[in-house]
Amino acid sequence: MPLASLAMYASPSPVKEATTLFWAALGKRLRAGGIDAPEALDDKIRYDEAWLRPDLLFGQTCGYPYVRHLRGKVQLVATPVYNLPGCDGPLKCSFIIVNAASPAQSIEELRGARAAINEPGSNSGYNLFRAFVAPHARDGRFFSSVQETGGHLASIDAVSSGKADIASIDCVTFGNTLRFDPQRVAGVRILAETARGPGLPFITTAATPARELVALRRAVAETIADPELASVCDTLSLRGISLLGDADYEVLAEFDRDAARHGYPVIA
């Protein structure tokens, strides 16, 4: 049975539940069209382990790993369009957050602060963050320390609790948390927005035939537009898809190169 995995936006619980319902409807539509699609998402596999599985029918990756490791190994299905602050069609930014009590009004005032990142492979928590900070770095440094938290929610918690002073949070994650777990973001505030880049694309294995790729795109668009799924898509803040190509994602690789040109190849 082919694999379906949608683990990138899996919290808070209303989002996780809506994701399960969304796939149930999408999978049913695919099967009705003659495509062998699983009835349920695989919630056991680690999100990044699904990306290069040869049996991947439908998944979602981060744009930064896509431009660094996945190009030519997977196919872009579509980029979701979310209706949340910080999103502009298929593009989205990250929110630079600080503690709610922080007096800082600009990034310059955070020189020497303690940064939190989710992981170095993240576009929203690392690549866009690094591009934002790079013009202000001196001799390859800006922060006094950098801690890796393992996830955006953990980065929010680190800033809220005072264990870190600043972090970069995907605007969709922030928006979902504000909607469904507002207490979690009550201790932080948005200092600034990063540059925008294409969001987290839906992908399929490179072996998926062109006919099935077309059917996947059509089924996703029809599922999002289905009036019976309106409440599910509202919970996901999902309003459509955009068909972006490999060239559209190149901007994320350019952010990487631009930081290196500033002498800031890693967040430090």
Same domain, 168 and 247: no
Does residue 216 lie within any of the structural domains? yes
Residue 166 lies in a domain: yes
Structural domain includes residue 267: no
Residue 259 resides in a domain: no
Q: What is the pLDDT of residue 259?
A: 97
Residue 156 and residue 175 in contact, taking contact as beta carbons nearer than 8 Å:
no
Per the structure, the complete domain to which residue 147 belongs is given by 91-197
Residue 71: its pLDDT value, please?
96
Split the chain (268 residues) into runs of 10 and give each run's mean pLDDT: 95 97 98 96 92 97 97 97 98 98 98 98 98 98 98 98 98 98 98 98 98 98 98 98 98 97 98
Residue 61 has a pLDDT of 98
Total residues found in the chain within this entry? 268
Residue 137 lies in a domain: yes
Domain count along the chain: 2
**C-alpha closest to that of 116 among 164, 60, 176:** 164
Q: Could you tell me which residues come within 8 angstroms of residue 198 by beta carbon, excluding any fewer than 6 positions away?
A: 63, 79, 90, 91, 92, 244, 248, 249, 251, 252
**Residue 197: per-residue pLDDT:** 98
Domain limit, last residue, from 151, 169, 197:
197
Does some domain include residue 170? Answer: yes
Are residues 70 and 120 both part of a single domain?
no
Together in a domain, 10 and 34: yes
pLDDT value for 47: 85
Residue type, 23: W
Model-level pTM?
0.96
